[in-house]
Amino acid sequence: MNRDRKYWIIVASKDHVKNGIAEGIAQACHGKVSPLKRMRKDDFILYYSGKRTMGRPEMCQEFTAIGKVMDDEIYQVKVSEDFCPSRRNIEFLPGNDVSILPLIPGLDFIPDKKSWGYPFRFGFFEINQHDFELISSQMLQKEYV
């Protein structure tokens, strides 16, 4: 069965995103399995970080990672006695962190530009190819060009 590639945004603090990049994994919505079930091999993900560190007030407001779903496997890891998050394997691309602020006017998934943060409250959602290409074109720019 052939299906179109999909594009997803996952919301997480920047410190958690950078840990995920180092491990080559994605978690979503505090380790829930249901968002990960929606992703398929060869889909793309973007991480958006509203905050720099989980539980602290310092704002980030950046897209902090871009990657491709490697396979269709979902697995759990025991992090502590009461936390066993679900994960997916991701091939992260080398990219720059990019502020969302200059991109807001061109993003379709933000219908109300004044309340632009609203879509991120869901923690995980699909975006269209146009929005993915707009964001990824900024993240994947060469720093030395």
Predicted confidence band at 79 (pLDDT cuts at 50, 70, 90)?
A: confident
Q: What digits encode the pLDDT tens for the residues 17-69? A: 999 999 999 999 989 999 999 999 999 999 999 999 988 989 999 999 999 99
Predicted confidence band at 142 (pLDDT cuts at 50, 70, 90)?
A: low
Domains and CATH numbers, the chain: 7-139 (3.10.590.10)
The residue whose two tokens read 């997480």 is: 12
Cβ-contact 128, 6 below 8 angstroms = no
Q: Tell me the C-alpha distance between 20 and 6, whole Å.
A: 20
